[in-house]
Structure 1
Amino acid sequence: MVMIKEFREFIARGNVMDLAVGIIIGAAFTAIVTSLVNDLINPLIGLVIGGMDFSAMQIAIGEGDHQATFRYGAFLTAVINFLIIAWVVFLLIKGINKVQNIAKRDDPDEGKDVQEVTAPTQEELLVEIRDILKTDVETIRARP
């Protein structure tokens, strides 16, 4: 039961929910990038290299039941997908950093040293009162 309670608390944390949303959006974004690469970029590359179907590029080694097929076209497609996703993430992070820098510049309290004001303790107040009374008594005694 303790394990279930801990798991429930873990799932209910805000950062886990943010992570779940990120994964869902990432999966949708991956589908868009895959379509971009397969439907737009690969045909252009195929046009440049002589009309070959980029995804069909492969090398077969061996014969019969022991044949191995290396689909390097699919691998190159995956590399292109990765580079596009990495580029978009880079641009996204760069944009977020720019917005944060603008927000910091516009914040008038940013960079100021804020000193925390604490109330004196009861002992400090009593010592201060004692010192004031002591000074007053000495002043009264010193009068002619």
Structure 2
Amino acid sequence: MDKKIKQNIILILLLINLTATGGLAVYLFAGSESQDAETAVFHDMETKQKYTLYIGTNDKDTYNQLISTAKARKIVDRICTKHVEGYTSSEAKGGWVDETGALTQENTLVYSFYDVKDSQIKAIMDEVLSKLNQNSILLEIAENRSVYYYGEKE
């Protein structure tokens, strides 16, 4: 079998494996030098917990958004930086059927964290619940393989 075909098969199997285990990798394949660097990156990966918070922006009493998404984000950013060293955030739309059977939709803030403790996440959630007048925050905890990549070392 042609060497390039073998390399492509290995690439496809690696991507399928990473996708199935919840990992994500950008794999640039340019030959054996690139393959050696990639192997080193994957070798250094650690299994860590990733915490993701889904924070609604509708007020729990009125089911309406009383604070703008931008202002809510600034509030949550300040709370996060008080308790952890870093995070990733984005905005999403969420929806659910409430206890009366009505569809409720809202803007949702999504925050992800690595290298933090349960107690830090709990402190963030407690403060956010109060400041944004929320009933609950969805917390997702997943085991992920990750590594900080700093580029190829020469």
Same structural fold, with TM-score higher than 0.5 when normalized by the shorter chain = no
TM-score normalized with structure 1 length: 0.26
Structure number with larger C-alpha Rg: 1
Bigger strand share: 2
* Higher normalized helix content (fraction of residues): 1
